[in-house]
Amino acid sequence: AKGAAVSQPAAPCPFQCYCFGSPQLLLRCASGAELRQPPRDVPPDARNLTIVGANLTVLRAAAFAGEDADGEEGAAGGVRLPFLTALRLTHNNIEVVEDGAFDGLPSLAALDLSHNPLRALGAGAFRGLRALSSLQLNHALVRGGPALLAALNAALAPLDELRLLGLAGNALSRLPPAALLRPRLEQLDARLNALAGLGPDDLRALERDGGLPAPRLLLADNPLRCGCAARPLLAWLRNATERVPDARRLRCASPRQLQDRPFLDLDEARLRCADRDAEDVELAGPELEASYVFFGLVLALIGLIFLMVLYLNRRGIQRWMRNLREACRDQMEGYHYRYEQDADPRRVPVPAAPAG
């Protein structure tokens, strides 16, 4: 297509990268495992940078700032890419993002770190990104555990201009409080996590004062626990359904009697605290199943012992069966003899002669 033709850039493209249209439009680098750090010869007037499929592993401080390809200092303050607005770093095996990793990118508005096995995130990883409005961390926080969630909460705190935040597919059991408190947040994607629900504090954090629009929340594919603790969330959803575009896709994961039921179709009267007993029974299911297995093993052991006793006493049992058979035969012979005696016509009594 004509729109995708490669033109002559104002500065040469980096090695193994592609400049589409011009460096001001799109620069794409897919160097595989050979690329272990961001390219140092990115044209200074680049606007969009995409690096996919590399092996960056660690994003060190000022990874995109510092000296240019000629060894000279970039712009003042170490700004080498002053016009870069979009940075996509998906599928790059990034495990660590140090403090100040994105220093020197004053115009960055969109950052995508999705599909990276993050294990550590500096509390100041996003410092200086005053213009950042979109941050995507989908499928990137699964391996970090609670420590990574705490670090993310600290790293999000200075991003007052953040409008779009993607946290889908991260097995989160709770949302970072700082994410809910971003004043200009417009949408938070929390699908495909391990959220059992949202508490009153989370719902209050989603409200906005001063005329700012309240953020939209995507919650589908979370294992909601439909007990009495879910009443605030159900009431909030019914009053602000438009704030959760996928509300109709919410399903109950527990208790068992409400499993896979649409959350919005539930009556609050069914969300009883007594359901906790049913939940306890459900949670006790594995233990109860294990007890059944143990009981079955005990019965099998008793049956085996009984068969062994029978085997060891087989001669005595055979003698007992023989004696029982002979006793039954003697009894039957006695009955047969009495029957023959009663049926003999010679033993029929003679009727008495009439009187006179």
Average pLDDT over residues 326-353: 74
> What is the model's pLDDT at position 316?
85
User: Exposed/middle/buried for 351, CB within 10 Å: 0-12, 13-18, 19+?
Assistant: exposed
State the chain's mean pLDDT as an integer. 83
| CB contact at 8 A, 192 and 169 | yes
Confidence of residue 43 (pLDDT cuts 50, 70, 90): confident
DSSP states of 76-136: GGG-S-TT--EEE--SS---EE-TTTTTT-TT--EEE--S----EE-TTTTTT-TT--EEE
Residue 277 pLDDT > 70, yes or no?
Answer: no
pLDDT at 350: 60
- What residues contact 152, with CB distance under 8 A and at least 6 apart? 121, 137, 141, 176, 178
**Is residue 1 pLDDT above 50, yes or no?**
no
pLDDT over 70, % of the chain: 80
Residue 348 has pLDDT above 50, yes or no: yes
Short-list 150, 154, 145, 160, CA closest to 124: 154
**For 138-162, what is the mean pLDDT?**
95
Could you write out the three-class secondary structure of 22-83?
A: CCCCEEEECCHHHCCCCCCCCCCCCCEEEECCCCCCEECCCCCCCECCCCCECCHHHCCCCC
In which band, very low, low, confident or very high, does the pLDDT at 353 lie, cut at 50, 70 and 90? low
What is the per-residue pLDDT across 60-81, written as a single tens digit (0 to 9) for each? 999 988 654 444 444 444 678 8
16-194 and 201-274 agree in CATH topology: yes
Considering only CA atoms, which of 163, 23, 46 is closest in space to residue 107? 46
Angle at CA 185, nearest 5°, toward 179 and 190?
Answer: 55
Q: Per-residue pLDDT tens for 90-120?
A: 999 999 999 999 999 999 999 999 999 999 9
Residue 282 scores a pLDDT above 60:
no
For residues 43 and 317, what is the distance between their CA atoms, to the nearest angstrom? 98
CATH fold, domain 16-194, is 3.80.10
User: Tell me, what's the pLDDT at 165?
Assistant: 98
What is the model's pLDDT at position 100?
95
Write out the H or E segment, with its range, that includes residue 218: strand 216-218
Say yes or no to pLDDT of 337 above 60.
Answer: yes
| Alpha-carbon span 333 to 293, nearest angstrom | 52
Q: Which helix (H) or strand (E) holds 287?
A: helix 285-312
Q: How confident is the model at residue 309 (pLDDT cuts 50, 70, 90)?
A: confident
* Rounded Cα gap, residues 106 and 130, in angstroms: 7
Pair of tokens at residue 26: 């799109």
Burial label for 164, CB within 10 Å (0-12, 13-18, 19+), is middle
Say if residue 22's pLDDT is above 70. Answer: no
Mean pLDDT on 244-265 = 93
d(CA 213, CA 289): 50
Structure confidence at residue 79 (pLDDT)? 76
Model pTM? 0.71
User: Given 3.90.226.10, 3.90.79.10, 3.40.120.10, 3.80.10.10, which CATH number is that of 201-274?
Assistant: 3.80.10.10
DSSP 8-state secondary structure symbol assigned to residue 257? G
Residue 135, pLDDT above cutoff 80? yes
> In angstroms, what CA-CA distances link 313 with 118, 125, 232?
69, 80, 70
Confidence of residue 333 (pLDDT cuts 50, 70, 90): confident
Residue 292's pLDDT band (cuts 50, 70, 90): confident
pLDDT at 325 over 80: yes
Q: Is 6 helix (H, G, I), strand (E, B) or coil?
A: coil
Q: Where are the domains of the chain?
A: 16-194, 201-274
Which whole number is the average pLDDT over 267-278?
A: 67
